[in-house]
Structure 1
Amino acid sequence: MSGQGEMFDALTCDPLDLIERGGEVIADKSRWPQRLVDLYDVLFAYARKTGADAETAARDASARAVLIADYLGGAVVYLPRGDAMRKAVRDSEAYRRHDGRNTNVLAREYGMTTTKFYELLARERKRRLRKMQGRLFQ
């Protein structure tokens, strides 16, 4: 299996089945679609970077890759990258952290003026309302 269009089937492979070879723990990914292997590799590298040992990193990466595959599997999914994605994540986090009394603190923390921060809040509020309500009146 090497195509991205293939669906991951947890019934035909056990991604949590770790194999130890020469003291190195790796996940048996031989039957995984290539995109899932790529995702696992990124998750494994991140876990190692944050200090996890190889076995813990492999188990964590496998479990997270399967979780994502179960959630997104079978669908054609666009994942944004770069500045637009980072800005969207930043805006969502800022909105979530805002409690009405910490505007100035958060504006400084995110490197923007209070006015720009209020604009960010308005955009994010509008986006969330549109998501909840749909476009009823357009």
Structure 2
Amino acid sequence: MDDLFGLDGDNHNILAHLDDEVVVDRRLWPKDLALLADTALEELRTVGIKDKESVVLMEKLLVAVSMLCGGRGYYMPKGERLRNGIRDRKIYQQHDGSTHGPQGVRALAKHYRLSENKIYDILREQRQICVAKLQPSLDL
């Protein structure tokens, strides 16, 4: 189903609706968007993704990010806070629900060089984030 602007909710066709000159000529892009695009493109190429494929993936990433946080100020942590956030998300995704299993609390604590209590804190925090996404607060 098309939305108000004639774009489908799939996000993949958004770039097809842009003027080719705007997509190709980065000088027409806002400065921060061009910087984000160049950074993403360089990182994709660094991990071995070839030119044409890296450009397509970069464009898809920009569309996905813009659909999530476009049109508003958005805080992105950097440095240690960003690394910890990524680490915490990985811990939550890797945890198998056990204490002693191959991906249990003890194994994760050893792998990430954290205490078991810290792993439990991370799991609790990440679980709250996931629940909040699925069950918005009913502030009355």
Candidates 89, 109, 119, aligned match of 1:117: 119
CA offsets, 1:91-131, max 9 Å, x none?
12212221222221111111112232223223333454566
1:13 aligns with 2:16: no
- The ranges of structure 1 where at least 4 consecutive aligned residues each deviate by more than 6 angstroms after the TM superposition are none
Higher relative contact order (CA 8 A, sep 6+): 1
AA partner of residue 73 (structure 1) = G
What runs of 5+ residues in structure 1 fail to find an aligned partner? 1-8, 18-26
SS at match of 1:75: coil
CA offsets, 1:13-59, max 9 Å, x none?
34895xxxxxxxxx432321111101110111011101122222222
Whichever structure has more helix as a proportion of its residues is: 2
1:92 alignment counterpart:
89
2:38 alignment counterpart:
41
Q: Are the counterparts in 2 of residues 36 and 69 from structure 1 also a CA contact under 8 Å? A: no
1:30 aligns with 2:32: no
Give me the whole-angstrom Cα distance separating, in 1, the residues matched to 2:55 and 2:123. Answer: 39
TM-score, normalising length: structure 1:
0.68
Q: Sequence identity of aligned pairs in percent?
A: 25
What runs of 5+ residues in structure 2 fail to find an aligned partner? 1-13, 99-103
Deviation at 1:136, TM superposition (A): 5.6
TM-score, normalising length: structure 2:
0.67
SS at match of 1:30: helix
Give me the whole-angstrom Cα distance separating, in 1, the residues matched to 2:88 and 2:50. Answer: 33
